[in-house]
Amino acid sequence: MQAGLNIPATTIAIDGPAASGKSTLADLLARRLGYLYFDTGVMYRAVTWAALTRNVPLEDEAAVTRLAAELHIEVLPPTVEDGRRYTVLADGVDVTWAIRSPEVDASVSRVAAYPGVRSAMVPQQRRIAARGSVIMVGRDIGTVVLPDADVKLYLDATVEERARRRWLEMRAQGREADYEPVLASMRQRDEMDSHRDVSPLCAAHDAIILDTTGKSVEEVLAEAERLIRHALAAKGKPCPSG
């Protein structure tokens, strides 16, 4: 397939549970299409990072919500060639790597579950999407953030497969990890994401479901591109070539 596909300025929403492959897919698609890869999870990570660094108690929902409402978050194409997929700024501070710390990992689910935090993030997410040529990734993009996205994909995989991917990723990073605790954590994350009161994880009624279990990155990318071309053609919009 050709790089730099000729595709119109379009918003593409990709949702799915943790480690379903949506971030990898979105990054590859964004590079090929010349789009901004926007993982909305970085916004909740930025709020979590800000709360931790500013000593805002994470159990204080009202305080964390106020912080989220005041924090200006920007997501840009990579500004530094250090392997990053994008640049994340929180009140002008580059936090691209800081929001990937174990401390943030351990607390982001709690922060992301707060209704006020999610409500505060939606306008910022839509502000960035309004620029066009965006592939937005998250857990409520097609259902809440961009219900009118041109294309909606929902990636999924078995929890065992997703835990294995996360475990291998951690080992590749040199982090000590056993599979069973990673699996337990993944199940807990799924439970929290699927049963939160606001914007629970689910596929939009018009989303295209793509199961990535047992599929290589190349296979998922090829299938996603085929689905995107088909979805755009069905709407009478110009389709990618190749």
Query: Is the residue at 239 inside a domain?
Result: no
The parent domain of residue 217 ranges over 10-33+140-228
Which of 111, 132, 153 marks a domain boundary?
132
Query: Domain ends where: 132, 167, 197?
Result: 132
**Strand ranges for the chain from DSSP E:** 11-15, 36-39, 73-76, 87-90, 93-94, 134-138, 151-156, 208-211
Query: Domain check: are 40 and 27 in the same one?
Result: no
- Note whether residue 147 is domain-resident: yes
Q: What is the pLDDT of residue 146?
A: 95
N-terminal to C-terminal alpha carbon distance within the chain: 6
Query: Do both 125 and 162 map to the same domain?
Result: no
SS3 81: coil
Q: Which residues pair with 135 in a beta bridge?
A: 12, 37
Q: How confident is the model at residue 238 (pLDDT cuts 50, 70, 90)?
A: low
Specify whether 155 is located in the same domain as 89: no
56 with 47: CB under 8 angstroms?
A: no
Domain CATH code at residue 181: 3.40.50.300
How much of the chain is in helix, strand and coil states, percent to nearest 5? 50, 15, 35
Q: Is pLDDT of 237 > 80?
A: no
Residue 27 lies in a domain: yes
The predicted structure's pLDDT at residue 9: 57
Amino acid sitting at position 103: E
pLDDT digits (tens, 9 = 90+) for 176-221: 889 999 999 999 989 988 887 778 889 999 999 999 999 999 999 9
